[in-house]
Structure 1
């Protein structure tokens, strides 16, 4: 039974890093699709629609989460 905690830790670490990996794979696929467009205007518009890399996404998400948790309750709500 002593092997279970290290395996559990490994599984948690792999699942957490898997989100970033899947996000990056999706971003790469979107970028490749955009880069295959012939018209430069379409290509640039497509590339602008692609979101930030996973690390930036996580930072923005954390800032938003912290900002929402720091706001006081609106009047009338307890």
Structure 2
């Protein structure tokens, strides 16, 4: 039996590559992929620490509640 083989040096390059840009700024809490892994459209690649956004949401909800209370009070005083 005869075996034939060759050895080559080379470089492999991806057919496609993309730049990742977040829609919001923040600190990365978790990376959900490994380098070189194939990913699909819509797949979550990173999880951003949401504490800042949750705090802003809570402040906005509190401001809304105050505004509703003030509007209700103003309406009852007008009647």
Same fold (TM over 0.5): no
TM-score with structure 2 length normalisation?
A: 0.36
Q: Which has the higher strand share?
A: 2
Q: Which has the higher helix share?
A: 1
TM-score with structure 1 length normalisation?
A: 0.36
Who wins on radius of gyration, i.e. which is larger? 2
